[in-house]
Structure formats: structure tokens, C-alpha cells
Structure 1
Amino acid sequence: QRLEKERLEKERKEKKKQKEKERKLRLKKEGKLLSSKQKADLLRAKMSLQLLKESGQAVIGKTRKEGRLDKQDSAEDESKSDNISEPKDDDNNTEPLDDAEMVDEEEDQVEEEEFPDDWENIVIEDRKKKQQQQRQNAMENKKSSNKSTNDTTTGGSNKSSIDPDLSLSTSNPASRPPEKFRSPIICVLGHVDTGKTKLLDYIRKTHIQDNEAGGITQQIGATFVPPTAINEQCKHVKSKSELKIPGLLIIDTPGHESFSNLRSRGSSLCDIAILVIDIMHGLEKQTIESLNLLKSRKTPFVVALNKIDRLYEWRSNVRKDVEDLINSQQSNTKHEFNTLKQKVIVQLAEQSINAALFYENPDPRTYISLVPTSAHTGDGMGNLINLITHFTQTLMAKRINYLLDPLDATVLEVKAIPGLGTTIDVVLVNGKLREGDKIVLAGHDGPIVTQIRALLVPQPLKELRVKSPYEELRIVYGSVGVKIAAHDLEKAVAGLNLYVAHNEAELERLKTMCWNQFGSAMKAIKCSDKGVYVQASTLGALEALLQFLKDSKIPYSGVRIGPIAKRDVMKASIMLEHSPDNAAILAFDVKIDRDAQELADQLGVKIFMADIIYHLFDQFTAYKENLRKQRKEQNRHLAVFPCKLRILPNCIFNKRDPIVLGVHVEAGTIVSGTPISVPTKELDLIGRVTTIEHDHKTVDQAKTGDEVCIKIEHCTSDAPKLFGRHFDANDLLYSRITRESIDIMKEYFRDDLEKSDWQLMIELKKLFKIV
């Protein structure tokens, strides 16, 4: 009996060894054989992954291929099963089984350790079931409105259906759909040097410590401020609002020009604005422009009364609510603050706007809230952010509801990026964009249809050390700033909407819509026959520049969007014949080709380039003023100032050529070179004034009421005129004007003449019968 048992045991062990050997050979041949170390590593990785998932952190995948992550998971599950099943085989305490049972067990074990074909599908199905269960539990627990629930379900189902397709990094908030509200979009407006940039910088740099960005992400043309940073800013605010929005998107538009254009297109790009006013200076020119813009577009806004740290003996404390901080100041500081605050309220009232301090506001719907801030020290910044979040979540809740459809996206800028080619910066307000979507947008020569190659957002600040400055996503949801890489974007026009076409019929409709939008915008621009040539980088910048030129009474003969090429120089050179002063190109925020610059130098076309509209205007007006001065000097000898002179009888110093006598200026202005006439004696010209003296000192001119001595020299081919023979002290002397001299005076010396001088000019015109 015992010998029989030993024999059976021996045979079982030999069979087991043989089976193990065959299995290893087969796995080795298939490349699936794992060592103990590899198995341990996989198990460790699997456990770490599980811990991360349980803690709620998103897992950053390194691959974009569908199913590769699932394969890795299946390999890890396989290794785990190996580690669990192997000790069972090696356990000597198990009771001996008969041959049939042992063979079945070994076959089951081998099947379990091998990698079956349907393992991936099992893992994927299992994961989907878990996700579905989690979503159902979350929806049951969430007590919200039906709309909110529907939005959440839509977002969740979209997310699960594209799970392998989400992104390279699902940790980026742009790659996750909002639940109910999208991030409100904020624009910052104000006069130059009121602290707009400083205010933006303070919001961006919230709580930067040890290379940590405080969760603030830099986005294309925008700054995204997540809830963590908002809570950090608002923790010292007294009446802090509960945060329901996924963050704030602050648009970095260069001034109010682009903002004006985007708003005039009816775009919902900007939900609320911050108007920055320097408390020390009050309302200034651009502040009033911004106010009129906000009123015309009916955009809600709050006022940041900035630079309160400039108040005398101001004591800063960023850990205090700004109301308490103001009340804790010394009496003289409070008095100065109240005086300046009241001055701003009066100035706003002059612009038909009711305003009050935010903590004294009787009705936020009719009164604009003023928030005292200091972008330098940070005082009041928490109150400003809290007020914006409160307004957007309550008064503007309907406006910032997240909608998956229709798509609302605006092209902000067209840029060439090394390694990516020409890209477009887009602000996605509502909806979603996927990699591979067919997009339609306006171009200079017609609508552009292309496919999205890549959706890029910058890396979070703490990951700037990564070689690539952008993070690539498979899908993005509004509100977000995103850079789109695609073919054929060189001629894209910034400032208009971007659309996604889902089928051919829709594609044709969208192409027509884009072209009509661009056409109507260009038709609205009315050019004159003579004027400068204008170029800008975006449609918004072009419209703003043209409006500025119109207000400044500078005519324009042609416009174009995009960089300056040779054809633009050729068009501008047409003015060299008709209006040489206007043979110039005003280029706002665009580049110039080398060939175009060489051609402009050769033809004599002036090119003015600037990134700020006002600088461009200053350059051109300085150029025009310089030209005017040159022409004035060139035509000075032809200019004749109107004058009427009475001869002083006791001041006749020389009666022959040159005649020297004393005169009293009855009217007008006498200057050196003035031709003198005596109409009463029908003497058309007796000579020109060469010298004027007053109190024995030579002067350039004499005005009404002056008594001066003048020297008149003969300047014609006929015989010189003599005092006493041809005219006497009873005759009045007049300056001899002509049609040509009148035109010269109008063109170049208009500012040198007073109203009485022009009246004398009219009198002389009648006297000399000039038409």
C-alpha cells in the first residue's frame, strides 16, 4: 500500500514537471514568459495604480493607442494570478489527489496562467461595468435639477464612450467636460498704466511656492484660474460664496480693441469685464472709451479701484477683508480714500452710471460695484475674485450654463510655431473639439477646410522643465484656450468664428456662412480714393485701427489682413502720383517680407509698424508733421501774409529805391518778403519788404497796432517807384496777394493766421478782384 502511494506520487511529480517544462517552452516561444522579478514589478505597479485610482487622482498615460493601457492591465492581472496560483502548486501540505483530478487541476492552472485571446475584452468590460456603477451611484446621491442631472449624464457618457481616446494627460481640466457651469470668461479693461497687467500678474502668481504654480495653468491667450486658487485667494473674505464654477478664464486681449471686435460679432466670448480705474487719477480717456464700449455691448462689469496702496500712510494686510482693512486705517487715510472714491463715483455718474462700494451696494443690478484693490500688495484681490464668482454664479447663472451643442469657438490669433507650422489660437466657449474634427474657418482668399492634427494646451507651470512646452489632448471642452495645429492655416483670419462640420451638406453650408461673415465685415469698410494703405494681423485689430484713423481724420485707400507682401507695396505706391503724403503703409502687429521692404525703399513708400495702435498713429502724425514743415519751408517765399499799412508822415527816411519809411500796421501781419502794392494809385507792385525794424532792432514780423520802420526794394523790370511822385503819405499800403499765395496760405500757414487776418484776406480778394 505504501509503495503504491510512493509510486503514484513520483509519477504525479514527473508529469507535473513535464507539463511545467512544456508550458514554459510554449510561453518562451510566444514571448510571454515572465521572471519572478518581472512578476513582482508588475504586481507592484498594479497596486500603485489601484491606490491612485482609489485616491481619486487621474492616471497620466504615455501612449495614445487604444487598448494599450488595457493590455498592460491584463498583463498585470495575469502576473497577479500567477503569483497567487503558484504557491498553491508548490504547497506540499495539500492532500494527494488521484491522477484524473491532478491532471484537471494542472490543465486549469496552465489555462489560467496563459494569456487568452479574450482577456483584454474581459478587462475592458469589467472596467466599463465598474464605471457605470460609479456613475449611477453618483447620480443617485446628487440632489440637483433635472437639467443639471442631464448635463452630468451627457458629460459622463461622453467621457466613458471616449475613455481610450481622452488625452495624453487626463489630469488636465480642459480634457474633462464641465458638469453644469462652464468657466466664465473675463476681460480686463482700463486706461494705460492703471495696473491691468499687474492685476493679471497677481492673479496668475497666486501662491507660487517651491516651483508650484498653485494650480494656475497658463492657456493660449488666456489664464485659467482653477477652484483651488480661487479658494486660496478668497479664504480671508468675510461673505465668501460657495464655489460652483470649475474656474475662471481670464482673456489676455491686448487692450480693448480686440475685445470690441469680438463683442461686435455677437460672440459670447466675454461674460463679465473688470474695468480697472486708478483711484489717484480717476476716469481717463481710454477708461471712458472702455465704458462706452461696455455700455453699447451691454456687458456686465465690476470696477477695480486700483492702487489704494498709494494712499498716504496706507497700511497693507492681505489677510484682512478689504472692508475691515479700510476701517482699520488712520482717520486721514480714510478721509483721503473717501474723497477719491467719491470723485470716481461722480465721474461715473457723469457717464450715466450709478456706482457704489461693493459692501454698500443697495442693488447690484442697477449699481456698479466698486472694489478697492492693490495689485501691488494684494489688498482687496480676494474680494474682487469673490465678487466675480458670486455674480457669475447667481445673476449670470443662465449665461454660463455649459452646452455641448452648438459649438461656440472664436479664433483669437494666427501664429507660426517652429516644429508645428502655422497654428491658430482659439477660445472655446461652449461645446467640444476632438482631434481629427473637420473644421471650417474664414481665410483671406476664401473659407478654409482642414482637419485638426493636434489640440495643444501649455503644460502646467510646474512642468515647464519638460522639453515640449505644450501638452497634447485628444479632446477639449469649453471654456478653454487651445492652440490648434492643422494644414492650410497660413491664410486664416483671426477674429471670426470657427465651426466643425460633421457631414458634406453641413460643410457646404458652413463654408458659405464663413465667407459671408468675412465678406460682410470687409464690405463694411469704406475706403476713400486718396489715403494710406492699412494692414493688421486680425480683423478685430483692423477694424479698431480703421475706427481710430476715422476719428483722427486720416483717410485710407486700401486694407488687408496679414503680413506685408510686394503686392501691398505696389498698391500703396499708386498714391505717389495722386497724394504723395499718403504713399505709406500703416502696419499693425504684422511682419514684412524682405522683398517688400526692398521694393518700398526703392519706390519711396514709407512703412510704419507698431504693436500698439497709438504708437502707429504717433509715428504717422510725426511723419506728416515733418513733411508739412518741409513743404512749409519750401513754399515760404510764395506765402503772402495779408496786411494794411498807414505811412507815418514824419518818418520818411529815403524816398528813392530802396524806400525806407515808418509805418503803422492797421490790420494783419507784415513779414519780410511781403510784396507791397498801392491800389489807390493803380500801382500793382512798388517792391518787396526786405527789412523790418522795431526800436532799432531787426524783427521778422509786425502785427496789428505795431509801429515799425520798413525797407522796400524794387523787384520788377520796370522803373523804380519814388515816394512823393508815385505815391505819398495819404495812400494806404497793402500786401499784394494772388490766387496762388492764398492757396499756399490755406495749405501750410493756416495756423499762423488769426480770424481777423482771414477777414482782411477776404477784403483784399475783393480789392484785387481775385476769383
Structure 2
Amino acid sequence: MPRQPILSVLGHVDSGKTTLLDDIRESKITEGEAGGITQMIGATEVPIETLEDVCGGLLDQLEADITIPGLMFIDTPGHAAFSSLRKRGGSISDIAVVVIDIEDGVQPQTEEALQILQETNTPFVVALNKIDKLNGWRTEKELFTQNIQLQQDHVKQQLDEKIYELMGELNEYNVVADRFDRVDNFQQKAAMVPISAKTGEGIPELLMVIAGLSQNYLADELEINEGMGRGTVLEVSQEKGLGTTINVIHYDGTINKTDKLVYGTASGVKVTDIRALLEPRPLQEIREDKHYNEVDTVTPASGVKISGKDLEGVIAGAPIRTCSEEELEEAKQEVEDELEAVEFETKTHGVVVKADSLGSLEALMRVVEESDIMVQKAEVGPINKGDVVDVQNEEAENQAIFAFNTGMTDQGELAVKDKDINVFQSDVIYEIIDNYTEWKEELERKRREEALSNTSRPAKIRLMPDHVFRSSNPAVVGVEIVEGVLSTGSSLMDEEGDRIGRVKSIQEQQESIDEANKGDEVAVSITNATVGRNIEEGDILLSDITGEDYRKLQELEDLTTAGEKKVLEEIVELKDRKDPHWKLG
């Protein structure tokens, strides 16, 4: 008999992922009845009896049978869990459910989910959630296929319009989809099942479609291989009396307590003995007490807690193998191959990237590389002091740490505050990248504005009559800014192109200012100028732009005003006449 398929639930924030899992987990089967739902480590098992009960009316209607032993849902919905559950060549998840809010359609996280599913070649079903919010929708039956018949025509039309709209959106991501009861080929089209995770409507159809796809198209993947156990570390935790333990999603082979445990770390493959294999007690009890039953053997698909004699350096998302002494070398090679598949190319300089698991790190690094962001280090684990040391002397745009689904050690947090390092932390990949990009653009804007403030600005000024406050050493005169921006430090020339002097200071109402704009009337102190000798009241003066300043102004053209551009043309024409090679200076 095949094993039960492993399912992940993905979707945008607030699309209803958790509500859907809760609805399935809290199915109408009461605790203690035959076929009750079991909660494993990081997973919820829905056995065949429960599926048959929930889908009962539908099975009779379709004259169908469920042949798989049940379904295993990964408890933690979202990209992070899905990304962590990886194996060489793809995901541990045999099939995924993408939850989409019928009102919101494809959102940024939905897009991310679709990309990850396509990259890992994971088949998926779309749960079109919140149909109960459609205007005029009436929930009378649990089966969508029965309830749709009871809706008024305008409500049916409204649902169809939403579905056609979503079909168009999904098509942009190379996904051909249709409502599940209109799909003619499930291998070529993604099935969309309208549901309400809140009322439970459509859940039987969703489970039925998943079961049907699994038993009709995933038979080979669900065959259990004999021999060594294979799994992935979902979480590393500390248990009282047990020390470091690992929560494992076990997807193939058999795990025996007498096996050797081969596991992946950041520094390579390690081997230890298994102390205990632990399974949770029934659902209600694990929620209250987290008590476990010790077992000798575990078969897939399952979630199991493993206690080892030494689990030093084990990381979430790492592969594990359990085997006999004879199979040890083969097991070590398999783990090594999987670890090599997630090695990342890093540079001498760049940001530091941290994540909660190897799979999460892989998912984040994929997007980081697509965004052309330089990375000097990519590791699993919380931000520590060493990460801060690595980035503190980098160029401004690289003084940053990305943290996906992970936090900081106490020392790491102190170092981040002390060195004022920017941390971009989220459990959503696109938020990390978007926030970093926004910050980097702001850094660049400030850098460019500072560069402009250190450059002579194009200006045309007129010396106002009867406004000579000092005739020389330096000359202090009242001027009107005719056009452009006059900044301190700028050199001035007359309309013949002859150098007059340099702007030492600018004052407005006896207050010193760095620059004056068109229309301003200010007092200007000009070195090397003498009223009555090289300047006169009523004279027009222009900024004497150097070749270097001209090149900077060209680079910063988007920050200059239209008036500055106009004056700069006048200045360039004047200086070109006097010295055609001045721009090279």
C-alpha cells in the first residue's frame, strides 16, 4: 500500500491558510472515534476513515473510492515551512494547496509561492477561499457542488467572473487553471476549488481533489522504499531531560531506534546514535502537555522527534538518514550530496544573510541572487556578534543583515545597536528585499544630495544698487538671485568670463545660510572682489563652474532645477568661447 501524501499549505498573509488547516484538523470527527485525526511533530495526519467521513456524500455521488491511507498536512503553513521541507531535486511535499482570497486574487506572497512551486515541480491545487463573503452568497450545504445550485443567478455569475479574473492572473505566471469541476485534464490544468475555510463549505471537494490527484498521478512518489530512513529536520529544539532533539518530517524508508543517525550541519556530515524515537500522544494531550510515546520503529509519512547521543551543529532544513552500519557510507554520501546542492556563491564583500533553515536560506538566496545583491556570508541561525563584525566596515549599502524567519542572540542584538547596523527582518522574503531596496535607494539619494551640496551650483546674480556693505577684503554686497542656486564656496565670474572671486558666505536677515534660490535677496561676502575695481553695483555675475563640477552636475542632473539647467547652458557657452578645453580640467 502506498504511503499518505505530504501536503503543504501556502498563500498570502490573511488569505486563510491557518483557518483552512484548523478546519481540517478540527474536523467533525470527535476525539476517540475511529479514524480520529492525529497530530504529529509538525504535521497533522488525516486518516482514510476521516477522509471518507468528510467526503462521504461526494464519494457516493461520484461512485469513487479513496485508496491512499490518508493525507498528511504540514502544520505550519507558509513559505518558510515549505522551503524547509526540501530534499535533493525538490520538495518533500508531494502536493501543495495555494490558498487565494477570492477578493484579493494573486498577491505578492502568492506570486512567491507559485514561483517556488514551479521551481520544485510540485503539483498544486488552488483553494479559492472566502466565497461566503460574495454578495448574496448563501451557505446551506457543506458540499460546494450542492450549494452552488441553490445560489441566485447573479451570485453564480459573480463567482464565475471572479474565477475568470483569477484564471487570467494565474496565466501571467504560466499557470493554466479552471474550476475543479470543469477541468478536463488534471495534469495540464490546476484545479481551483471554491471554499470557505470559515464555514467549511467546499472542504470535502478540496480533500477529494487532493486525494484524487494523489492516487491517480503520484503513485510512484508514494511508493515506500525499503531500507534506510530519509527525512528533513523541520525544527531543532531543547527538551527537558533529552537535551537537543530534532523534529523530523520522515518521507521514505523505515527509521529504527537501533539505526545510526546521519545528519547535516553547516560544517558537513555528522553521525550519532539514536537515543529515542518519540511520537506525540493523541491530539488533545499534546496541546496540553506535550507528552510523547517512545517507539522502536517509525514508518512514513510521519512526523517524529528524535533524540540523539550528540546532535552538535544540527540545523533546521538539513537532511537526515537512519541506517545500519553496512549502509553508513551510502547514507553519508546522500546527506553530503544534499548539502552540496544548497551551497551558495558568496563574495569577499556584501551583506550577511541568515535564515531559520537550509530550505529557507535557499529560498531567500534565490531571490537575493536574482536581485543582484552581493552576499559575503549566508548561514542558518540567529544573527550573532560575528555577523555584525563582518558587515560593520563594509560600504554603506552593504552594512546590512537579512534575517528570514530568525532572530538575534543577546550579543548579536547588542552589537547591532552599538554599531548601528541595519537589519532587514521578516518571515516574508519579498518584504526583506523590498525594504532593503527602499533603504538602499534612500542611501543613494542622500549620497547624491550630499555630492550636490559639495558642488558649485549654476547661478546668475545681480548686484543690487545702494547695497554695498563693504567694498573689499572681502567685498560684502546685497545681491538678487536672478536664476539658479547660489551656494557658499562657489567661484564667480563676470559676463566676459573673467574670474572675480569666491563666495565666502551668504546671509539672509543676518542669518548664515548655505545656499540661496531664485528670487532671494541676500548679502554675499566675495573674496578677491573690490567694488569699483572688478565689480560694480548693477553687475551681473555667474557661477564659474570648473570642468569637474560640470561633470558632477551632469551626473546629478535629476537633482538640479530647470533654472539651474538654463543658467548652466549660458555658463557653458560663455566658458567654451573663452577656453574650448575647460571641461577637461
For 2:128, the equivalent position in structure 1 comes to 305
Q: Which residue of 2 aligns with 1:527?
A: 346
Flag the 1:623–1:444 CA change in 2: closer, same or farther, 3 A: same
| 8 Å contact from structure 1 (residues 714, 720) kept in 2 | no
Offset from partner CA, 1:381-418 (integer Å, 9 cap, x none)? 11100111111112222332333346432222222223
Rate the CA distance shift 1:360–1:724 in 2: closer, same or farther, 3 A.
same
Alpha carbons of structure 1 residues 331 and 750: separation in structure 2 relative to 1, 3 Å: farther
Equivalent pair of 2:400/2:422 in contact (CA under 8 Å) = yes
What are the equivalent positions in structure 2 for 1:442-457 lying under 5 Å apart? 442-457=264-279
Question: Cα gap change, 1:723/1:242 in structure 2, threshold over 3 Å: closer, same or farther?
Answer: farther
Matched with 2:321 is 499
C-alpha spacing 1:604/1:711, structure 2 compared with 1 (3 Å): closer
Indicate how the Cα distance of structure 1 residues 400 and 509 shifts in structure 2: closer, same or farther if over 3 A, else same: closer
User: Tell me, what secondary structure is at the counterpart of 1:521?
Assistant: coil
Q: Say which of 244, 263, 267 aligns to 2:67.
A: 244
Q: Does 1:271 align with 2:94?
A: yes
Pairwise CA distance, 1:265:
2.7
- SS of 1:658's equivalent in the other structure is strand
Q: Which residue of 2 aligns with 1:708?
A: 519
Gap regions ≥5 residues in structure 1: 1-179
Q: Which residue of 2 aligns with 1:579?
A: 395
- 1:78-477 paired onto structure 2 within 5 Å: 180-207=1-28, 209=30, 215-237=36-58, 238-239=61-62, 241-253=64-76, 255-260=78-83, 262-263=85-86, 265-267=88-90, 269-319=92-142, 321-405=143-227, 407-464=229-286, 467=289, 469-477=291-299
Cα distance change, pair 597–608 in 1 and its aligned pair in 2 (3 A): same
Amino acid at match of 1:678: M
Name the SS of the counterpart of 1:681 in structure 2: coil
The alpha-carbon deviation at position 546 of structure 1 amounts to 2.6
Distance 1:604 1:303, change over 3 A: closer
Give, in whole Å, the separation in 1 of the partners of 2:531 and 2:390: 50
- What amino acid does structure 2 have at the position aligned with 1:769? K
Give how far 1:552 is off. Answer: 4.7
Task: Give the SS at the match of 2:255.
Answer: strand
The aligned residue for residue 677 of structure 1 is 492
Is the radius of gyration larger for structure 1 or structure 2? 1
- Taking only the aligned residue pairs, the percentage that are identical comes to 33
Q: Deviations over 1:727-749 (max 9, x none)?
A: 976x6723746858976996xx7
Picking from 527, 535, 543, the partner of 1:734 is 543
1:769 Cα deviation from its structure 2 partner? 2.9
SS in 2 for 1:493: coil
Contact 1:428 1:482 in 2 (8 A): yes
Q: Post-superposition shift, 1:207?
A: 1.3
Q: Measure the CA separation in 1 of the matches of 2:308 and 2:392.
A: 41
- Displacement of 1:323: 2.5
Greater strand fraction, Structure 1 or Structure 2: 2
| CA-CA distance at 1:681 after TM superposition | 2.6
Query: Matched residues in 2 for 1:574 and 1:759: separation?
Result: 47
C-alpha change, 1:741 and 1:582, in structure 2 (3 Å) is farther
Higher helix share: 1
Instruction: Report Cα offsets for 1:653-676 as digits up to 9, x if no partner.
Output: 74673232362x4xxx53665836
Q: 1:222 and 1:594 mapped to 2: Cα distance? A: 31
DSSP-derived class of the 2:109 partner = helix
For the residues of structure 2 that align with 1:418 and 1:532, how far apart are their CA atoms? 37
Other structure's SS at 1:359 match:
helix
Is the 2:96–2:125 contact (alpha carbons within 8 Å) kept by the matching residues of 1? yes
Per-residue CA shift, 1:406-442, capped at 9, x if unaligned? 6432222222223321111211112111112111111
Cα deviation for residue 720 of structure 1 reads 4.7
Question: Counterparts of 1:745 and 1:530 in 2: how far apart (Å)?
Answer: 30
Q: Secondary structure at the match of 1:494?
A: coil
Deviation of 1:558 (Å): 1.9
Distance 1:275 1:754 in 2: 50
What residue number does 2:583 align with?
A: 769
Distance 1:454 1:761 in 2: 79
* 8 Å Cα contact 1:453-1:485 kept in structure 2: yes
* Kept in 1: contact 2:458–2:486 (CA 8 A): no
Distance 1:750 1:527, change over 3 A: farther
Q: Report what 1:555 is aligned to.
A: 374
C-alpha deviation, 1:640, in angstroms: 3.8
Select the structure with the greater relative contact order (CA < 8 A; seq sep ≥ 6): 2
Structure 2: how far apart are the matches of 1:432 and 1:641? Answer: 75
Query: What does residue 477 of structure 2 align with?
Result: 658
Letter in 2 for 1:526: E
Query: Over the residues paired in the alignment, what is the CA RMSD in angstroms?
Result: 4.0
Q: Residue 579 of structure 2 corresponds to which residue in structure 1?
A: none
Question: Structure 1 residues 550, 763: closer, same or farther in 2, change over 3 A?
Answer: farther
Q: CA deviation at 1:582?
A: 3.6
Post-superposition shift, 1:190?
A: 1.7
**Count of residue pairs the alignment pairs up:** 566
The 5-angstrom pairing of residues 683-698 of structure 1 reads 683=499, 685-687=501-503, 690=506
**CA distance, structure 2, for counterparts of residue 755 and residue 297 of structure 1:** 52
Is residue 106–residue 169 contact of structure 2 (8 Å, CA) maintained in 1?
yes
Paired position in structure 2 for 1:75 = none
Contact 2:98 2:126 in 1 (8 A): yes
Following TM superposition, by how much is the alpha carbon of 1:375 offset from its aligned partner in structure 2, in angstroms?
Answer: 0.6
Q: Does the residue aligned with 1:442 lie in a helix, a strand or coil?
A: strand
Matches of 1:530 and 1:727, distance apart in 2:
57
1:328 CA displacement: 1.3
Residue 544 of structure 1: SS of its match in structure 2?
Answer: helix
CA spacing shift, 1:286–1:691, aligned 2, 3 Å = farther
CA distance in 2, matches of 1:555, 1:677: 44
Give the SS at the match of 2:135: coil
Kindly state the Cα deviation for residue 597 of structure 1 after the two structures are TM-superposed: 4.4
TM-score by length of 2: 0.83
Tell me the SS of whatever aligns to 1:511: helix
